[in-house]
Chain A
Amino acid sequence: MTKTISFILNGDEISCDIQDHWTLLHLLREELGLIGTKEGCGNGECGACTVIVDQLAVNSCLYLAADVQGKQVQTIEGLAVHTGSLHPIQQSFVDNGGIQCGFCTPGMIMSAKALLDKDPKADQEAVKHALAGNICRCTGYVQILDSVAAAGRQMAKNQGEGAAAAKDPGTITQQSMNKKAGEVIT
């Protein structure tokens, strides 16, 4: 059965025709071309396909596309369109070695975001709980947990400073190194 659904995808209202049996993962990847959401198992066991539906991290491989009618869906593509304006969680994963092969990364970041949006000061146990459904085979989780903790600190700070989020001046990033080098040659 085909039906038409409307929902908000990464801030934009969209309307599309879907089949009843499609998963949200199928809709995102195969129909809408949003390949940032990954399929690692198709059974809700690895978390690579995690997206946020109405503030809740869900396995999009288990979530029926029809069920997003009228809801807000956020995928990894909705967080940033330029490496210069990464979301604090993305930036933190980059800076703290939270990414190796990267296949689990979008799902990992979306799980972290669902948590930190609610509570940027979440403690490590809460972070571990929030990420328990996201498998990573490369990192041993150490640098992922560091990344989420640092991102939480940054987000709490940003909240404290209001909408005008300031970058942590103490963080050495490749960008800041570039800037320094850029000064040398101009």
Chain B
Amino acid sequence: MSGYNVVGQRVPKLDAAQKAMGRAEYIQDVRLPGMLFGKILYSRHAHARITAMDISKARALPGVHAVLTGKDIPSKMRMGFYKDNPPLKADKVCCFRDEIAAVAAVSEAVAKKAVSLIEVEYEPLPAVFDPEAAMEKNAPLVHEAHKSNVLKLPWKLHYGDVEAADKASAYVVEDRFTTTWVTHCCLSTSGAVALFDASDNLTVYSNTQIPSLAQKDFLETLGAMGLKGKRVRVIKPVIGGGFGSKLDTYAYEHIAILLAHKCRKPVKILFDRKEEFEATSTRQPTVIYIRQGCDKEGHLTFRDIRMVLDNGGRTSWGATTPSVMMMPITSLYRVPNVRYDAKCVYTNNTYAQAMRGYGNPQATFAIESCMDMLAQKAGIDPVAFRRINQNEPGDVTPQGFKITSCGLAQCIDAVEKELTQGRPLEEGEGIGYASLIHVGGGARIYKSDGCGAILKMDDYGRVDIFTGGTDMGQGLDNMIAQIVAEELGLLAEDINVVHTDTDVCPWDVGAHASRSTFVAGNAALWAARRAKQTLLAFGAKLFEVAPEDLVMENRTVSVKNDPEKTMPVDKLLRKAHFSPGGTMLMADYFYDPPNENMGKDFKCNLSVTYSFGVHGVRVHVDKETGKVTVKNYVAAHDVGRAINPMLLEGQVYGGVIMGLGYALSEEVMIKEGQIRNPNFRDYKLFTAKDAVPIKAPVIETHDPDGPFGAKGIGEPGCVPTAPAVANAIYQAVGVRIKDLPITPEKVLAAILKQSKGS
């Protein structure tokens, strides 16, 4: 037993009853007095000059309050870290997703009608849709001023001596893998409401994962609008799914701000599902060339990876995913010599953002598929091959990651045991494995990786804790409530977690990198410790004992070994409050983990600790149709400690099914820059009918730095899924599919090719 009362309990999600009753308010449900509705006009071409635009008919439509075009955008206003994306484009469009005009009107219907009345003339330009073709000399330039389609980004590293290791290796394999566009498919579509007060201070309601960074982006927008020195408040309604999609600010948010300022009224922009598919970002597609070798005993000798990333027409966080891909490339298994070179290349396609795993699923697909290929070449069982190379506690990887707690070995054991005991393999069945490493103790991408927490206790023994972190459904509220309740001897339901408003919540870098339990959790824990210290000091005076002789448990403060001396927490709080020179119990903490920014050579200890996991899957492949059926799935994760096993399992199950979609069925189909399947009928998500039996063994390694020993688990569930499936298919029918998704067509074609060849 853990010895804890609240940590480790399957406490239902704190907002679950509200959600079950339909009372949770999402961005769809935000309505403000006098609110107008905004609508955006998108490009009709993948690559074209805008030669003329006539907005007179739209402006003349009754009910229209404002029409904006690219010409109305302040010249300094650019979105995204690469600053190549004005919210409305004036002269040229680089992809179908480019926003070129926007309307605010009294209703959605009028706004929609007005947008349809805007007349645009284009002069189409030669376009390029293949990133490798876009690197060729005579390829059309997506951004002429950039002079090259290759982005100026530094994604290149070389540790050790790959060429010497290559020569010295006993076995070497190499191949090319590709991953395509998939998208988040949050059930709640995107939206924002912007409004200004009479002094030009701005409030934005937005379902963002990065309230503090969004505030900064919106302040920049105000600055570009000539409104320097004004305040920005970001309010988050209940978020209907994130998965990375809300990690950047989008054009619709900045357009809502511009429209609200022009109209002096609140303006809401809410996407419909088609727009959600067409105008939000995808996972970063990749072309991966991998070469990997080992010695006679099966020890990895080197890993050499070159990637081309389709950047699309604009730049969002997708272009920075190589920084995270470096993690599995340099640090998944012990591999002494590593080289990596990634190029992000402009095309006239859509562009990518963060998505659960942030590049890790793509890199791990190539690495772990290649691991099986290398094991086979070396004549070693795939599981034994992984054991030979597994990471261990105390390792320092070539990139400088310091592995502290590491349950990879236990994860391999757990998965193998689950999958191989009992029913033997039947005809057409195969078992595949793949492992993962991910940041589990924050990730120092920005100068600060911190999160603040402010805690206050009222006269009734209840806690309000204001966190910078964001709950978007993953359950951070519970993590914080259970951590604080445990520390203060309360129940989870005594803790009210507030994360909705930048006016009252402290700074946080955002809900990314599986960092919230670790970073926001540690901030909350330390704030609770400070509060406890104050309260116990007061209690010590009252009971005339030393503070360390007191315990907080079951909503009471008691003297150890003296059952007579005890007082309910609420009573003690009231005594503290209403004594002469009284005090209210408040505490704060800003936790910035002791991790490191990447150096010029990308060496650092990016995270305080790392999460590990192993997935194994038993599939059946129908040789007649190529259809792959998942029979059993086992996903074992080293989570440090499960703060709430039920919510933890939910993260794993959800991640696995998202990963299976990535492996088998999901694809944003883009032809000549245009999305052909912007709906749930043609974009193939797993449904309840496709649900598979999943087991999720939890390996607890009690990380020394995690809150109560916990590490991050938000993203890992979908990281090694695709290669596990690909490896299982190979074991089942002997064909290796290297391009995601692994559709029945691809499997069948490979089976037919194989039988022709034999």
Contacts and interface: CB of A to CB of B under 8 A. Distances in A.
Interface in A25-64: 34-43, 45-46, 48
Contacts of B28: 35, 38-39
Contact of B654 (A140, A145, A184): A140
B688 A128 contact: yes
A101 B240 contact: yes
Contacts of B17: 83, 86, 90, 94
B13 interface: yes
Contacts of A81: 21
A86 B21 contact: yes
B546 interface: no
A99 interface: yes
Given A35-B29, A45-B680, A139-B654, A97 B646 contact: yes
B493 A45 contact: no
A77 interface: yes
Interface band, chain A: 35 or more
A181 B473 contact: no
Contact of B570 (A143, A144, A185): A185
Interface string B532-563: 00000000000000000000001110000000
Contacts of B22: 34-37, 75-77, 105-106
A172 B645 CA distance: 14
Contact of A97 (B239, B556, B650): B650
A132 B649 contact: no
Contacts of B472: 101
A181 B6 CA distance: 12
B646 A137 contact: no
B499 to A, nearest CB: 14
Interface residues of B, number: 65
Contacts of A38: 26, 28, 187-188, 240
Contacts, number: 200
B679 interface: yes
Given A137-B186, A181-B555, A35 B25 contact: yes
A99 B20 contact: yes
B16 interface: yes
Interface in B547-593: 554-556, 568, 570
B689 interface: yes
B12 A140 contact: no
A132 B687 contact: yes
Q: Would you call the interface of chain B mostly helix, strand, loop, or mixed?
A: loop
Contacts of B555: 181, 184-185
B493 A178 contact: yes
A14 interface: no
B532 to A, nearest CB: 18
Interface in B157-215: 184-189
B750 to A, nearest CB: 28
A60 to B, nearest CB: 13
Max chain A CB contacts within 10 Å: which of B10, B12, B26?
A: B12
A77 B189 CA distance: 22
Interface in B3-24: 10-13, 15-24
B491 A99 contact: no
B655 to A, nearest CB: 7
B491 A137 contact: no
A102 interface: yes
Interface in B629-662: 646-647, 649-650, 653-658
Contact of A129 (B186, B655, B689): B689
Given A35-B28, A101-B240, A185-B556, A138 B654 contact: yes
Contact of B473 (A91, A101, A172): A101
B699 interface: no
A149 interface: no
Q: Would you call the interface of chain A mostly helix, strand, loop, or mixed?
A: loop
Contacts of A173: 12
Contact of A94 (B16, B491, B650): B16
Nearest to B13: A99
A97 B20 contact: no
Contacts of B679: 41, 43, 45
Given A102-B240, A181-B554, A97 B647 contact: yes
B21 A77 contact: yes
Max chain A CB contacts within 10 Å: which of B11, B22, B653, B656?
A: B22
Given A76-B22, A94-B12, A128-B691, 19 more contacts: A76-B20, A95-B12, A97-B646, A97-B647, A101-B241, A101-B242, A106-B20, A128-B688, A133-B687, A134-B688, A136-B688, A137-B186, A137-B241, A138-B473, A140-B691, A174-B11, A174-B492, A185-B555, A185-B556
Interface of B: 10-13, 15-26, 28-29, 184-189, 238-243, 272-273, 461, 472-475, 491-493, 554-556, 568, 570, 646-647, 649-650, 653-658, 679-681, 685-689, 691, 694
Interface of A: 34-43, 45-46, 48, 75-77, 79-81, 83, 86, 90-91, 93-97, 99-106, 109, 127-129, 131-145, 172-174, 177-178, 181, 184-185
14 contacts: A40-B189, A42-B272, A83-B21, A100-B13, A100-B474, A100-B475, A102-B238, A136-B187, A138-B187, A138-B474, A141-B687, A172-B10, A174-B492, A178-B493
